[in-house]
Amino acid sequence: MAQPGQKVVLITGCSSGIGLRIAVLLAKDEQKRYYVIATMRDLKRKDKLVEAAGDAYGKTLTLLTLDVCNDESVKQCINSVKDRHIDVLVNNAGIGLVGPLEAISMDEMKKVFETNFFGVIRMIKEVMPDMKKRRGGHIIVISSVMGLQGVVFNDVYAASKFAMEGFCESLAVQLLKFNVILSMIEPGPVHTEFEMKMIQDVSQKDYPGADPDTVHYFKNVYLPSSVDIFEALGQTPDDIARCTKKVIEASSPRFRNLTNPLYTPIVAMKYADETGGLSVKTFYHMLFNMGSLMHVTMTAMKYLTCGCLRSRTVSPH
């Protein structure tokens, strides 16, 4: 149970990746400022988290079952929290979807929205009324750079994160009146099961319904570039956990928090040209004309990007 003075933090999707690392980092806080309720939809997947939490498990970290796609599961979980009191809600659970649109079923697309968009809304609807009553609380949404800039072959995933950004922009204004803070964390590529699941998934599929040219561009042009981008620019789940902790601890938390300074120019480019043409053409050239140069470009970007961009992001260090 939370001790007096401890902040109760509930995190969704803690069986792996970013959610697991946020849970562990907060639970191992030296000053024991947090009582972490780490949730996952299937407790059979708890071992990695329990091992990483070490001594904190059972003291500053507890586990609960929660499936963000299921009304009953969300209600049961929140009702089992003492006085339904949650100081910080971290909406982390999410799934990816990549590939030629023609080969993706409507059901797969709906599942992405059900998890990444409606899953977050379901959580917020359950937790927000108590926060409003108490005139305090912090809601964090793990969004993505793809919530700000679309990426080829990630059409539906990006759309789910864009939807989330619009939702949060709207809600943040009302919540401020109730002293409830809403923050988004916007990582670029992060090395987690997300990326592994994507690569595994892709190698097993043959994309029925998509024409051969599209499948070729996806498998032989987009995928190798994507692997290069992850290798050159990818952050670790620990980086994102450190950024999230900083946002939780900030005296005046920012609404938007890009975690990777290398993505600042991409977002800036979008807002610099109101016609939208600059972004579309730049991404087109990067993918189709620079193909083999991509690796070199990404590595160069990593080393050359000036330090001033870092001030526009929440740094993991």
> What is the per-residue DSSP string for 59-128?
TTEEEEE--TT-HHHHHHHHHTSGGG--SEEEE-------S-GGGS-HHHHHHHHIIIIIHHHHHHHHHH
**DSSP secondary structure string, 212-267?**
HHHHHIIIIIIHHHHHHHHHHHPBPHHHHHHHHHHHHH-SS--SEEES-GGGHHHH
Considering the complex, what minimum distance in angstroms separates the CB of residue 166 from ligand NAP? 16
Q: How far apart are CA 58 and CA 53, in angstroms?
A: 9
Does residue 175 contact residue 181 with C-beta atoms inside 8 Å?
yes
Is 13 marked within a binding site? Answer: yes
Task: Please report how close the Cβ of residue 26 comes to ligand NAP at its closest, in angstroms.
Answer: 15
Query: How many Å separate Cα 23 from the centre of its chain?
Result: 14
Nearer to ligand NAP, 6 or 301 (CB): 301
Which residues have CB under 8 Å from 144's CB, separation 6+? 158, 161, 186, 187, 188
If the CB atoms of residues 32 and 48 are measured against ligand NAP, the closer one turns out to be 48
- Whether 26 has a binding-site annotation, put simply, is yes
Annotation marks residue 157 as catalytic: yes
- Name the minimum Å distance from CB 67 to ligand NAP: 4
Closer Cβ to ligand NAP, 67 or 228, answer by number: 67
Residues paired with residue 9 on neighbouring β-strands, in sequence order: 36, 88
C-alpha–C-alpha distance, residues 102 and 87, integer Å: 43
Q: Which residues contact ligand NAP by CB under 6 A?
A: 12-13, 15-19, 40-42, 45, 67-69, 92-95, 115, 119, 142, 144, 187, 189-190, 192-195, 237
Distance between CA atoms of residues 18 and 47, nearest Å: 16
Under DSSP, is residue 3 helix (H, G, I), strand (E, B) or coil? coil
**C-alpha–C-alpha distance, residues 125 and 48, integer Å:** 30
Instruction: Determine if residue 20 is labeled as part of a ligand binding site.
Output: yes
Give bridge partners of residue 185 from the DSSP assignment.
Answer: 142, 257
Q: Which is nearer to ligand NAP, 100 or 237 (CB)?
A: 237
31 marked as part of a ligand binding site: yes
Annotated binding-site residue? 49: no
Q: CB-wise, 19 or 316, nearer to ligand NAP?
A: 19
**Backbone angles phi and psi of 174, in degrees to 5:** -65, -45
Shortest Cβ distance from residue 96 to ligand NAP (Å)?
6
From 157, 217, 222, 263, active-site residue: 157
Nearer to ligand NAP, 75 or 135 (CB): 75
> Annotated binding residue at 38?
yes
| Residue 33 is labelled as binding a ligand | yes
Residues paired with residue 139 on neighbouring β-strands, in sequence order: 89, 182
- The nearest distance, CB 19 to ligand NAP, in angstroms, is 5
Q: In whole angstroms, how close is the CB of 93 to ligand NAP at the nearest point?
A: 3
In the annotated binding site, the residues are 13-41, 67, 144, 161
In the annotated binding site for substrate, the residues are 144
So which residues are the catalytic ones?
157
In the annotated binding site for NADP(+), the residues are 13-41, 67, 161
